[in-house]
Amino acid sequence: MPNIVKRTTLMVRDAEASARWYEHVLGMKRWLDTPFTLSGIGLAAGKAGDRTRLIVMQCEDPVIGMIGLLQWVEPPMEAPATLPRRVAFGAPIFVVASDDVRGVHARARTLGSHIHAEPYEWSFTDPAGVKKDMRACSFFDLDGYFYEVNETVPAVPS
């Protein structure tokens, strides 16, 4: 079996609030919601005995594209005083395909996301040489993770 990226897990301040954001803004569903006590072996964060809560959110694909929301319950993990407003080296950039960029943008704004770019249009040429017209927006989630959401704009018949 080839290696595939199944899930990216994000450290969050409040797993429940984050899960509601992912449900409402991106239409994801809860796949798993469970407490974990860390062994101190596999994860390069926390220490043995720390209690965490992991909520795994799922998009349409049953295997890839899942997002884990990991909250330190006991002891709580200290969060930064201010959330990022720019993408820094080492931070992920999530790209989400959508069929409703304007709706995703509106829902993200309603739930208090920091909006980086209102919906805008752009184009690129794919590897087969076909020009693709796109619509996109970008914003940060409630814990400062950056998202670009894009959709293909249907070609206008000439």
- Residue ranges per structural domain of the chain: 7-74, 93-152
Asked whether this chain's domains 7-74 and 93-152 adopt the same fold, the reply is yes
Band of residue 1 on the pLDDT scale cut at 50, 70, 90: low
Looking at residue 158, its pLDDT comes to: 66
Residue predicted with more confidence, 5 or 85: 85
Whether residue 157 has pLDDT greater than 80: no
Looking at residue 85, its pLDDT comes to: 95
Whether residue 2 has pLDDT greater than 90: no
pTM assigned to the model: 0.91
Domain 93-152 is found in CATH 3.10.180.10? yes
Average pLDDT of the chain to the nearest whole number? 94
Read off the tokens for 13: 């301040």
CATH number assigned to the domain covering 7-74: 3.10.180.10
CA separation for the pair 67, 31 (Å, rounded): 10
Segment 50-62 shows an average pLDDT of: 93
